[in-house]
Amino acid sequence: MLDQPLHFTPYLKTVIWGGERIAPFKGITTDKTGIGESWEISAVPGHVSVVDRGPYKGRTLTELIEEFGPELMGEENFRRHGTSFPLLIKLIDARDDLSVQVHPDDRLAQQRHNCPGKTEMWHIIDTIPGAKIYAGLKEKITPEEYEKRVADNTIMEVIASYDSAPGDTFFLPAGRIHAIGAGNLLAEIQQTSDITYRIYDYDRRDKDGNPRELHTSQARDAIDYTVHSDYRSHPEGSLLAGCRYFDVRRLDIDSDSAATPIEHPRDSFTIIMCLDGSADIAHGNGCVTTIHCGDTLLYPATLRELTASGTATLLSVQS
């Protein structure tokens, strides 16, 4: 029986735009530089997370789902997804601007790639002065105008931009153009999909001096051309983002208060990310696990009645 949370070895991904903040944020030592992403929990083929402590050390997330099924996933999740873990959890550190991108929805991704699409959300942990987030179109364009603007390098003129600050949240349904600007450290929660269409990359070159590949025509059919007045989320209460794929809540834990219940409205596992401080997470069988800044824990669906105490900022994620 799965009677304790699971902690995994992070996959530290070096990229040309990566920075140096992820390792110290997580309190780990590594020889890697330019780490742009830490895949905290992943079932993406080739990068499936491996448990790094406790009785299941060395087992992969996929192996545990195959063995425990609904005990880990939740009955409803297991009916919907089988042994495919539905979420990918990341930390992202942008030293430079990331490329402007869009992701296909489920229908288009299944048609083209035989995989789910990608809806995601960002929660900003830290920024440097001048950091920006780009999300959505600020004026109406046609697919033909989109292609013309990509060709003449004016696409950024029609993409909405925001000065970002710690605590900001951006919900990014599939089809919404977006980019992370330089200076942002953030948490990303997304569907398990690694399909990205790159629209614009500032004429940036790869390590061999070649222009990075763009996916102009693929993106044309994936873009949602709807214009909204505001793409920054304005959550009321703890719920930062809620959709058919995930619910994400922020919990600000105060040591002077009683233990804070962690809501569990879905028939789902619960993922806890610690963005600041540390907290003791207790569950129904009386066991307590301490989570520190930069840690991510996966609580199987059978571990309910979770409470948190200490001084910390936590994200709680369910599928």
Active site residues: 198
Give the C-alpha separation, 273 to 268, whole Å: 16
Query: What one-character-per-residue DSSP string does 67-96 give?
Result: HHTHHHH-HHHHHHHTTS--EEEEEEEBSS
Give the C-alpha separation, 122 to 190, whole Å: 9
SS3 313: strand
Give the C-alpha separation, 187 to 300, whole Å: 21
SS3 150: helix
Give the C-alpha separation, 178 to 168, whole Å: 15
Q: Pick the closest to residue 185 from 115, 275, 109 (CA basis).
A: 275
Amino acid, res. 127: T
Burial 233-269 (b: 16+ CB within 10 A, else e): beeeebebbbeebbbbbbbebeeeeeebebebebbbb
Give the C-alpha separation, 17 to 60, whole Å: 29
Tokens of 115: 């995989």
Amino acid, res. 316: S
